[in-house]
Amino acid sequence: MSNQDKTMNNPSPGKVQNLHDEHPRLRLDEGALEAAKRSLEKGAVTPSYGPWREDIIQLLNDALATEIVCTLRYKRHYYTAKGLASPAIAEEFLVHAQEETAHSEQLAERIVQLGGEPDFSPSTLLDRSHADYDESADLQAMIRSNLIAERVAIEAYSQMIALIGDKDSTTRRVLESILSQEQEHADELSDWLTP
């Protein structure tokens, strides 16, 4: 095939190239793929986490402290409400305590996957938690303080999800699943609350 024929079969290669330049393509970052083959000590953390990894670990550690405080508050309420008029509410507190513990485990696991250290230090727990501990003696006060804590958790997780966006889709999925359970908790508590 002569050069002239080649040109006729592919009349304007320059034009195709220009089209690519004008419209950025969905292409993987080959350099980051190569970098992922190195730094094996980083486990699941690859270059795409970029500069956000430490901030995400910090957000997760604050959420971890919140979940631990929520577990402790619900446990306290479970044991003190048990002898009161409504054993059904006490059971609800126990279920919530167990679910907050499960959340704390999901968060700790994700922190470690990101190469961070989960902070379980009891001495700083309340300072780091978004939600409060509570020692109310009557059932309605317990329900109210738990509902406040759930609303704080819902707001914190919603903000975290918005902040993380597409920077870390695995963490976002973990947070979304926890958020939906906090919304259930708040709903259930609302049903118990007398106006």
Choice between 134 and 150, CB closer to Fe ion:
150
Is 185 a binding residue for Fe ion by CB under 5 A? The answer is: yes
Judged by CB under 5 A, the residue of 92, 119, 134, 182 near Fe ion is 182
44 or 120: whose CB is closer to Fe ion?
A: 120
| Nearer of residues 45 and 161 to Fe ion, judged by Cβ | 161
User: Site mask, Fe ion, residues 137-176, x = CB under 5 A?
Assistant: -------------x--------------------------
DSSP states of the chain: --HHHHHHHSS-HHHHHHHHHHS------HHHHHHHHS-GGGTT--GGGGGGHHHHHHHHHHHHHHHHHHHHHHHHHHHHHTTSS-HHHHHHHHHHHHHHHHHHHHHHHHHHHTT------GGGHHHH-SS-----SSHHHHHHHHHHHHHHHHHHHHHHHHHHTTS-HHHHHHHHHHHHHHHHHHHHHHHH---
Binder among 53, 77, 103, 130 for Fe ion (CB under 5 A): 103
* Number of chain residues interacting with Fe ion (CB under 5 A): 6
Subset of residues 37 to 96 that bind Fe ion, contact rule: CB under 5 A: 67
Residues that bind Fe ion (CB under 5 A): 67, 100, 103, 150, 182, 185
